[in-house]
Structure 1
Amino acid sequence: MDAAALNAFLTAEFPQVAPDFSVTEVGPEGVVLRLAVGGTHLRPGGTVSGPSMFALADLAIYCAILSRIGPVALAVTTSASIDFMRKPAAGVDLLGECRLLKLGRSLAVGDVLIRSDGVEAPVARSSMTYAIPPR
């Protein structure tokens, strides 16, 4: 699936998150997903909340997997870890750059670096494993 197909899939299958997230790139190693940061993503102190960053990482890996195997809505997270490293830039979208490390028949493993748009230093790093349902 390319970026347009992934965005259409998110709109159809996950309308609750589709307005906030968009796939901006699909490549041989993974995808880049954008979180359009708004008021609902902020925590006290004006920074992006941990749950919003976690959602970005989780959805980036999900989209990277679907970019390779097609629209399998029931692929699910089985393991997740996230490290928050620095405060995101204020008022700036976040980008989740996912790299798939393993894509098997029943499991996929990926890493995501989350950065503030236009800032090189990552704000968070996540590693996740997904279960892929049998076809």
Structure 2
Amino acid sequence: MISKETLEAFFRENFPNSDFTIESLGDKAATLRQPVSDNHLRPGGTVSGPVLMAMADAAIYTAILGSLGLVAMAVTTNLNINFMRKPQANRAVIAECRLLKLGRSLAVGEVFLYSEGDDEPVAHASGTYSIPPMEE
């Protein structure tokens, strides 16, 4: 398993526009925190769908890299999301991911997204990643 610090450095270098933080990283799991600013809001004063989808995608990617190491070319092949309630515009988005399958060529994960401090999820996502062959 890779360290949280190594993974944070990887994201800073390869995804300089990402502004989430890794709250926790475990065996086939990751929790991310996205501060919410006016740039993340849509009309009506709620966090936009693209922000929630990006957090779900990043959480799955983080859990995969945290488990396998820096497999940078792992790519999303499918992402489904259900928006369940309005996120709070004045609270960070928390994405909690657990991998359901971590195979040689595919990984499947699910993510619950929350407004920080709320127990009820604002969205639920599932996604599949293609993992490139490991170099020997």
TM-score range, shorter chain: over 0.9
Which amino acid is 2:54 matched to?
A
Secondary structure of the structure 1 residue equivalent to 2:89: coil
| 1:42 aligned partner | 41
Moved more, 53-62 or 3-12: 3-12
CA deviation digits over 1:75-107, x for unaligned, max 9? 000011000000011210010000000000000
Q: How does 1:40-119 map to 2 (within 5 A)?
A: 40-119=39-118
Which amino acid is 1:81 matched to?
N
Percent identical among aligned pairs is 53
How far apart are the structure 2 equivalents of 1:2 and 1:39?
Answer: 32
1:7 counterpart = 2:2: no
Aligned residue pairs, count: 133
> What stretches of structure 1 of length at least 5 have no aligned partner?
none
How far apart are the structure 2 equivalents of 1:29 and 1:66?
Answer: 9
Which amino acid is 1:80 matched to?
L
Which amino acid is 1:97 matched to?
E
| 1:16 aligned partner | 17
Which amino acid is 1:9 matched to?
F
Moved more, 29-38 or 51-60: 29-38
Secondary structure of the structure 2 residue equivalent to 1:122: coil
- TM-score scaled by length of structure 2: 0.95
Q: Stretches of 4+ moved more than 3 A in 1?
A: none
Which amino acid is 1:15 matched to?
P
> What stretches of structure 2 of length at least 5 have no aligned partner?
none
Task: After TM superposition, give the deviation of residue 115 of structure 1 in Å.
Answer: 0.4
Query: What RMSD in Å do the two structures reach over aligned CA positions?
Result: 0.8
Judge conservation of contact 2:28–2:67 (CA < 8 Å) in 1.
no
